[in-house]
Amino acid sequence: MRDVSKTIATSLLAAIVGGGVTAGALLGAGVVDGGETTTVIQQAPLSSPGRAVSDGVAGMTARDIYKRDAPGVVFIQARVVQQSASPFDFSGTPQEGQSTGSGFVIDEEGAILTNAHVVDGATEISVTFGDKNVADATIVGKDDSTDLALIKVEPKGLDLRPLEFGDSRSIQVGDPTIAIGNPFGFDRTLTTGVVSALQRKISAPDGYTIENVIQTDAAINPGNSGGPLIDAAGRVIGINSQIATGSGSTGSVGIGFAVPIETAKRVIPQLKENGRVERAWLGLEFVAIDPSLAALGVDAKSGLLVQQAIAAGPAEKAGLRGGDESAVLNGESIVLGGDIVQKLDGRPLKTAEAVRAVLDTKKPGDTVTLEFRREGATRTARIVLGDRPAGRTG
């Protein structure tokens, strides 16, 4: 479920962003003249036990963080156009609707970071700031593979409050988190919680796998998408993107997912410069070899069986071939007879994720060495990587 609600012909609700726990503590008591004891309640700092918070912001409370960071969080409304999904509409008539979500200011030039699915298909975008000023925005760039988008407003006359980036590599399970966003249209709502797990994987809008995702129990709901997940020092460590929901539910059940800020740091410069992210591409579609495939006569115990070498793609140009014999495995159609890919730049390949892990370290134009089996013989090919087309993952 992708955090964003779109009221289009066929009602589409997308949610993305997670749940929370609020911190507070009794810090002391004093005696007044009449001999009565008065309990003083103050909000406890959010910093994790045993972990110092640097930069002079140790001991910040949720209130402190909200006061500092909420002005930089925005409410995004996008007018969207999508093709009709009705089986009775053969013309594919475009349908208009509205997508809502959150975002946050990242510089004084008017750049705002949000989720790609918040502005997907947008023809008009308006941004509402904490002081109720409203500005039109344009899309600078969008990357469906990380579900991140960069939009921009004209900064003149606006009180822009950029949020500070943290370091998602240094966080640990149990660290406090704060989410600020616009769930169900309730603007600048704060929820708190903790990092409940690390290194999760979620599916991006284009089907690509987003790695190193932060799981939190800070309450996030439809409308939180694109908003910041913040650490105890008030710094952004993630972009709230998806939630897990119970059967029949569209709201938070305490399991939310945020794209790590380190991913955004890599993506933002390319979005600013090119409007998109260039990714290395092999041009292969394959299935992982397991014992059931071996039973169909595949000449390998592990590796990836090529289903198709995309026409005019990098691998096809280097001589890789897909199969030509149809078969059914576990109810799914596959193709036998293709090359069996076993190593990429010396790294053994057992899963599609292993291929992506190598490609994520490369860029279009780089050359890689692919080791594969064909007709019982091991061969190698030198492949010049291409620029991955939209909608492709292999």
Return the higher-pLDDT residue of 54 and 119: 119
Query: Residue 40: what pLDDT?
Result: 46
Give the pLDDT of residue 388: 85
Q: pLDDT at position 2, please?
A: 54
| Contact yes or no for 267/113 (Cβ under 8 A) | no
Rounded CA gap, 99 and 81, in Å?
A: 10
Q: Can you give the pLDDT at residue 332?
A: 83
Q: How far is CA 245 from CA 3, 121, 183, in A?
A: 11, 25, 15
Count of other CB atoms within 10 angstroms of residue 365 = 11
pLDDT tens string 124-156: 999 999 899 999 999 999 999 999 999 999 999
* Residue 329 pLDDT class (50, 70, 90 cuts): confident
Q: What average pLDDT does range 243-249 have in this prediction?
A: 68
* Statement: residue 365 has pLDDT above 60: yes
Name the band, by pLDDT with cuts 50, 70 and 90, for residue 206: confident
Tell me which of 222 and 125 has the higher pLDDT: 125
CA–CA separation, 95 vs 8, rounded Å? 6
Do the Cβ atoms of 241 and 202 come closer than 8 Å? yes
Catalytic residues: 117, 147, 225
Q: What are the structural domains of the chain?
A: 1-22+60-277 (2.40.10.120), 280-387 (2.30.42.10)
pLDDT at 134: 95
Closest C-alpha among 239, 211, 74 to residue 152: 74
The whole-angstrom separation of Cα 327 and Cα 296 is 9
